[in-house]
């Protein structure tokens, strides 16, 4: 007998073992690994703010064994200024012996929930197929990523799943790559960012909340943050120490007017992951120039981020390459106009609003 039911606290050890076995390559269990999962699930999928929404993560159970899990994180959003409840789906895992119906049943149960919108932005090809079979769609504008080399030789060594310094060959070649990059960036100005106009300053949580409220008014779909949710999402991002420290900076023009801001991981000697970059229509190039300049001074070898449709032209002009990184952004809604807004790129949906902060440490 099988069933799909809400995930609860006593499921954590079994779901943790399933997650470790399927998604982490059956990596050896470290001391205290169950407690690490307990802390993770309590913070992300079982916290009070989540439970108050009435939405719940799901498990697929066969007899007395859990064979699937679908994490659901509620997000408060707005659609043309009116409240909209979104469910960000994450950590979708199914026992290989149960693939097919298990995933399909969990997704259908999820889509029947009380949320106005279901969304995931780090889906693989397999999840995309099941999602579309269940009535979902692909949001192509938010499935494209960009990359901008800053130090090309070092960037070539760091492209991939991890820094090149972990590989013996990378450690040998890194000093040579640094020396060649110094020469290349001095003689070929196309890699070193231009000196930006205006200024930048640290962006704290409270000013960020004000900026988000002001800059997202023109979007059909936008997040509806409060002080607590802004603090939570940034704290989750800061825990991703493997990607370097988080830098959040506000950009002002020469008249001291706010032009926009950016938030990214600055990993010295490695790739910098951009989580959010926002700019007013007159300041798009300026904000991107400040982002690239800051990353350069932090010793980042390349920047990578997800496409913001309004910044497509400026990204291209700044020698950023657009490509499909391997992640799909998928959407489902009982209201076609909501899905269409994301499929047309008319939404404020950055990596901070998606799965980036929901990953297991």
The DSSP line for 26-75 is: TPPPPTTHHHHHHHHHHHHTSSHHHHHTT---EEEEETTEEEEEEEEEEE
**How many Å apart are CA 225 and CA 142, to the nearest integer?**
20
Does 265 reside within a domain?
A: yes
**Do 36 and 118 belong together in one domain?**
yes
Average pLDDT over residues 324-346: 95
Q: What's the pLDDT at 32?
A: 77
Do residues 271 and 300 make contact, with C-beta atoms less than 8 angstroms apart?
yes
Quickly state the pLDDT bin for 33 (edges 50, 70, 90).
confident
Domain boundary among 117, 142, 167: 142
**Apex 248 CA angle, 144 and 119, nearest 5:** 40
| Residue 63 falls inside a structural domain | yes
**Does the residue 335 lie in any domain?**
no
Query: Is residue 186 domain-shared with residue 320, that is, in the same domain?
Result: yes
CB 49 within 8 A of CB 236: no
220 has a pLDDT exceeding 50 = yes
Domain limit, last residue, from 142, 172, 188:
142
Task: Report the distance separating Cα 278 and Cα 309, nearest Å.
Answer: 11
Residues 122 and 88 in one domain: yes
* More confident call, 192 vs 286: 286
Mean pLDDT of 98-120: 94
- Distance between CA 117 and CA 111 in Å, rounded? 8
Q: How confident is the model at residue 311 (pLDDT cuts 50, 70, 90)?
A: very high
- Tell whether the model's pLDDT for residue 187 goes beyond 80: no
pLDDT for residue 206 is more than 80: yes
CA 296, 303, 208, 284 torsion-angle sign: positive
**Which residues form the domain of 184?**
145-326
Q: Mind listing the pLDDT tens digit for each residue in 154-175? A: 666 666 444 444 444 444 445 5
Tens of pLDDT, residue by residue over 39-52, are 999 999 999 889 89
Q: Identify the CA nearest to 289 among candidates 258, 318, 249.
A: 318
Residues 42 and 128 in one domain: yes
CA distance 19 to 21: 6
Tens digit of each residue's pLDDT (9 = 90 or more) over 68-104? 999 999 999 999 999 999 999 999 999 998 887 899 9
Q: What is the pLDDT of residue 162?
A: 47
Domain count, the chain: 2
The answer on 204 and 115 residing in a single domain is no
Examine residue 336 and state whether it is found in any structural domain, yes or no.
no
pTM confidence score: 0.89
Report the pLDDT averaged over residues 117-143. Answer: 95
**Percentage of residues in the chain having pLDDT higher than 70:** 88
State yes or no: pLDDT of 178 exceeds 60: no
- Do 186 and 154 lie in a common domain? yes
CATH code at position 231:
3.40.630.30
Asked if the structure places residue 357 within a domain, the reply is no
Are 305 and 185 contained in the same domain? Answer: yes
- Domain-embedded: residue 360: no
Mean pLDDT of 236-253: 96
- Is the pLDDT at 57 greater than 50? The verdict is yes
Let me know whether 206 and 134 are in one domain: no
* Mean pLDDT estimate for the chain: 89
Asked if 28 and 64 sit in the same domain, the reply is: yes
Report how far apart, in Å, the C-alpha atoms of 112 and of each of 115, 131, 134, 334 are: 8, 13, 11, 9
> In this structure, are 60 and 188 located in the same domain?
no
Residues 300 and 226 in one domain: yes
Domain boundary among 123, 142, 161: 142
Q: Is residue 115 part of a domain?
A: yes
Statement: residue 26 has pLDDT above 90: no
Q: What pLDDT does 166 receive?
A: 47
Confidence label for 264 from pLDDT (cuts 50, 70 and 90) = very high
Residues 67 and 193 in one domain: no
The token pair at 311 is: 């910044």
Average pLDDT for residues 28-57, to the nearest whole number? 87
Q: How far apart are CA 214 and CA 176, in angstroms?
A: 46
Domain assignment of residue 129, yes or no:
yes
Q: What angle do CA 236, 242, 245 make, to 5 degrees?
A: 65
């Amino acid at each position: 007998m099988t069933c799909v039911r809400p995930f609860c606290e006593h499921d954590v050890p079994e779901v943790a073992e399933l997650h470790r076995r399927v998604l982490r390559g059956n990596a050896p269990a470290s001391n205290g690994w169950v407690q690490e999962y307990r802390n993770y699930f309590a913070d992300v999928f079982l916290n009070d703010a989540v439970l108050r929404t009435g939405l719940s993560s799901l498990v697929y159970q066969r007899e007395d064994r859990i064979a699937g899990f679908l994490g659901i994180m509620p997000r408060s959003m707005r659609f043309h200024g009116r409240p909209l409840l979104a469910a960000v789906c994450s950590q979708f895992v199914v026992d290989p012996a149960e693939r097919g119906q298990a995933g399909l049943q969990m997704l259908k149960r999820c889509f029947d929930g009380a949320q106005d919108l279901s969304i995931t932005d780090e889906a693989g090809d397999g999840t995309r197929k099941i999602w579309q079979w269940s009535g979902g769609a692909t949001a192509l504008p938010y499935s494209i990523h960009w990359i901008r080399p800053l130090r090309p030789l070092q960037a070539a060594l760091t492209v991939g799943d991890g820094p090149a310094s972990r590989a013996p060959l990378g450690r040998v070649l890194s000093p040579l790559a640094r020396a060649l990059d110094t020469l290349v960036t001095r003689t070929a100005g196309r890699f070193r960012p231009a000196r930006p106009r205006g200024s930048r300053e640290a962006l704290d949580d409270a000013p960020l909340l004000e900026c988000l409220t002001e800059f997202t008014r023109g979007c059909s779909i936008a997040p509806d943050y409060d002080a607590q949710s802004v603090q939570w999402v940034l704290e989750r991002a800061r825990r991703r120490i493997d990607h370097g420290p988080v830098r959040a900076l506000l950009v002002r023009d020469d008249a001291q007017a706010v032009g926009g801001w950016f938030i990214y991981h600055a990993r010295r000697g490695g790739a910098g992951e951009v989580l959010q970059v926002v700019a007013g229509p007159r300041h798009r190039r300026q904000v991107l120039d400040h982002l690239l300049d800051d990353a350069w001074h932090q010793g980042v070898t390349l920047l990578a981020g997800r496409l913001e449709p309004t910044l497509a032209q400026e990204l291209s002009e700044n020698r950023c390459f657009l490509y499909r990184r391997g992640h799909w952004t998928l959407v489902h809604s009982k209201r076609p106009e909501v899905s269409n807004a994301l499929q047309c790129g008319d939404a404020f949906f950055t990596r901070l609003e998606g799965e980036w902060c929901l990953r297991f440490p």
